[in-house]
Structure 1
Amino acid sequence: MARLSLVFALLSSLLLSSCGFHLRGDLPLSHFPAMYIQSERHSELAALLSSRLEYNKVELLGSYQQSAPMLQLLSDTLERRTLSLFPNGQVAEYELIYKVRYMLTMPEGEAQPYEFELFRDYQDDPNQALAKAKELELMLGELRQQAANRIMRQLARLH
């Protein structure tokens, strides 16, 4: 019985590895041994990307080198669009739009621009201003996490 369960576990792991399965956050970035990230000072998105790249064993360079790729975070902005109003005219619901623009320059290659938007609906309540401010802050953190994941997936697709 123990031998059968061992064979089953071995067969399962072979099937998972052959289909390209990877644990979440564990991306194949072996084609990027080192990388330089250029961004605004104290960029939270750059900090998230840096930690994810380090987790995936990519050396982060302190200055630009032509032999390594450079990821330039051009901008990450949050915009709000009104979706609905209360009967008294105050905003009831917003659509949050998180826009990210970045550029990837490969060694001896041209810079490739990338841009994407992430959307969230946010219900406002003027009677709960402090709680809603905290909720908005948490939502922005989640949007940054999603943006970092999306950039990491884009890097993993490049060979």
Structure 2
Amino acid sequence: MKKYVIAAVLSVSTLLSGCGFHLRSGPSLPDNINTVAIDSARAHAPLARALDKHLNVYGLNSVDKSALSTTANSIHIYLLPEQLERQLLSVYPSGQVAEYELIYIVRYRVQFPGKEALMAQFEVVRDYQDDPDQVLAKSRELELMLDEMRDEAADIIIRRLSSQAVAAVNAP
């Protein structure tokens, strides 16, 4: 029985490694960078708060933008105003909107120590079903969905920092 289990584990691991699968670790930044400073076009931007919360989850330190000048080994992230667009997906026979596609557009500038700033943009997309009979419940659902989209955007920014850090370090 043990031989079959060992053979099954070996064959599965061989198949997974053969197709290029590998486990991802958490985002990692170069050792000389120890903090991230977050600044935004809007004071108290919800995405800035989400990003700060997620930096702590990943074990990265965040500093206030006023402390940036005193911290030489900081990454500076400047969040441009966020945008939310709606695209019509379907309507009820009565002509009322039944479903939207919500597109949350995030634009930001990141600057690594001693390097030029890099601009980045991405979108987080969700489908949202509207029900005119349940306006209060749907408005709360929309708020929750926007919070989830901001959390996903914060995770994307942090994951991208890792790859952008490698590119910035390797750039001349």
Q: Same fold (TM over 0.5)?
A: yes
What 5-or-longer segments of structure 2 have no aligned partner? 1-21, 167-172
1:76 aligns with 2:91: no
CA RMSD for the aligned pairs? 2.0
Aligned-residue sequence identity (percent) comes to 43
1:29 is matched with: 29
1:60 aligns with 2:62: yes
1:132: how far off? 0.8
Q: Letter of the aligned partner of 2:122 in structure 1?
A: F
What 5-or-longer segments of structure 1 have no aligned partner? 1-18
| Cα gap change, 1:70 to 1:86, in 2 (>3 Å) | same
Q: 105, 117, 135: which one pairs with 1:129? A: 135
1:151 is matched with: 157
1:38 is matched with: 39
Contact 1:29/1:56 (<8 A) preserved: no
Q: 86, 93, 111: which one pairs with 2:99? A: 93
Farther-moved stretch of structure 1 (61-70 vs 32-41): 61-70
1:153: how far off? 0.4
Instruction: Provide the C-alpha distance between the structure 1 equivalents of 2:138 and 2:62, rounded to a whole number of angstroms.
Output: 36
| Cα gap change, 1:20 to 1:126, in 2 (>3 Å) | closer
User: For 1:88, what is the secondary structure of its paired residue?
Assistant: coil
1:52: how far off? 2.0
| Cα gap change, 1:111 to 1:30, in 2 (>3 Å) | closer
Contact 1:33/1:57 (<8 A) preserved: no
